[in-house]
Each structure stands twice: as structure tokens, then as C-alpha cells.
Amino acid sequence: EAGVAQSPRYKIIEKRQSVAFWCNPISGHATLYWYQQILGQGPKLLIQFQNNGVVDDSQLPKDRFSAERLKGVDSTLKIQPAKLEDSAVYLCASSPPGLAAQGSYNEQFFGPGTRLTVL
């Protein structure tokens, strides 16, 4: 089974520029997540999609970040304009549909991430 695909793997931009990241989840996975992982920290959830609907975007800086999953499969995350503090690894993850059991949630499968450096 193919894993979560992300591109590009690395990106270097200057502050105030725009950047976009792409994610292709595992086939059949209804839930897709975008995380920001700053060096030395744990992943921080930016946005969660269930099919093509947003479940949680409470920690997404909406003045500069946007994300979409138009057909409920691939997703893109955009930053416009970028700031120095946006330098991080952006991880995409997906999980299969449905609850594994009462009180349980399915595991998340992470992609390799995109390492963004803002100069």
C-alpha cells in the first residue's frame, strides 16, 4: 500500500513570498490533517478535513494560511505571505474512515513532510 505522498520535500523562500504544499493521502482515507512541526517541538495541528469538509481549523493562522481539499482526496496548504517564524516541517497525515472502536480513533499515517525555510 502506498503511503502518504507530499511535495515538494524542501522549499526555501524569502519572507513575504508565497508557497504551496501538496499532499496525496493513502487511498480511501477520509480524514486528512496538516501539521506544523517546528524544530524541537511536537507536531501542531493546523487543519483537519473529513472528506472535503473542514473539521477543525482553530489553530490555522487564517490571515496567511489557507488549505483546501476540493474533491476529498488531494489537499494543498498555502502560505501567503510567509514570515520567518513559518520555517518548519509541514506534515500531512491521513487516517481511515470510521472509529476503530468506541472511544478509539484510528492511527494517523504521516507523509515525509515538506521542510520550509523562510529567509
Partner 1 sequence: GQQVMQIPQYQHVQEGEDFTTYCNSSTTLSNIQWYKQRPGGHPVFLIQLVKSGEVKKQKRLTFQFGEAKKNSSLHITATQTTDVGTYFCAGRRSNTGKLIFGQGTTLQVKP
Applying CB under 8 A, the residues found at the interface with partner 1 are 40-45, 56, 91, 93, 100-101, 103-105, 107-113
Of 16 and 62, nearer to partner 1 (C-beta) is: 62
Per DSSP, 107 falls in state P
Nearest to 89 by CA among 48, 38, 50: 38
Using DSSP's 3-state secondary structure scheme, residue 105 falls into coil
Quick one: 40 or 71, whose CB is closer to partner 1?
40
Q: How far is the CB of 112 from partner 1 (least distance, A)?
A: 6
Alpha carbon 64 to its chain centroid, in Å, reads: 15
Residue 42 or 53 having the CB closest to partner 1? 42
Amino acid identity of residue 89, one-letter, is: V
DSSP-derived 3-state class of residue 86: helix
Q: Taking the complex as a whole, how short is the minimal distance between the CB of residue 14 and partner 1, in angstroms?
A: 25
